[in-house]
Amino acid sequence: MGKLRRYVNGIGHAADVAVSVEVGRGDEVVVSDGAFMWRRDVYGPDAIVNLADDHLLIDEAVRGARYALRQLRGSEAGHRVVIAEIRPFPVDTSPGDIEVAAALAVSVALGVTLDP
């Protein structure tokens, strides 16, 4: 799981993204249908799982995963990244935080060092 926990200019940034990565025919990033099912664990079995703005979080997670895959320049093998969980924090997740957490998760899974 990619975990972002940073303070920048006194502002907290936190987000978690879980991924699985396997060798594929080309680079592909997909989002699991259950990426937000954690809400039922936190808020109860009747919690709404999919919210109206979740597409923004999904877009960020996909961008972050693709960024990390681009760091494998020259790699002959493709990779299939499945974004299994996207978990923002109500107070400390800002635009861009999910993207960073996803990039961190993929980089850890692939053993890739990201540009700062």
User: Could you tell me if residue 79 is inside a domain?
Assistant: yes
**pLDDT value of residue 71:** 87
Is position 18 within any domain? yes
Give the number of domains in the chain. 1
pLDDT value, residue 1: 86
Q: What is the pLDDT of residues 71-111, one digit of tens each?
A: 887 667 799 999 999 999 988 999 999 999 999 999 999 98
> 1, exposed or middle or buried, with CB in 10 Å at 0-12, 13-18, 19+?
middle
Q: What is the pLDDT of residues 17-29, one digit of tens each?
A: 999 999 988 899 9
Does 115 map to a domain?
A: no
Q: What's the pLDDT at 42? A: 95
In 25-75, the DSSP E strands lie at 28-31
Assess if residue 94 is contained within a domain: yes
This prediction has a pTM of 0.92
- The per-residue pLDDT for 24 is 83
* CATH number of the structural domain spanning residue 55: 3.30.230.10
Residue 116 lies in a domain: no
The residue range of the domain holding 35 is: 2-110
Mean pLDDT of 52-71: 96
Q: Which of 33-37, 57-61, 76-80, 86-90 has the lowest mean pLDDT?
A: 76-80
Handedness of CA 11, 54, 98, 105 (dihedral sign): positive
Q: Which residue has the tokens 């899974």?
A: 109
49 in a structural domain: yes
Whether residue 106 lies inside any domain: the answer is yes
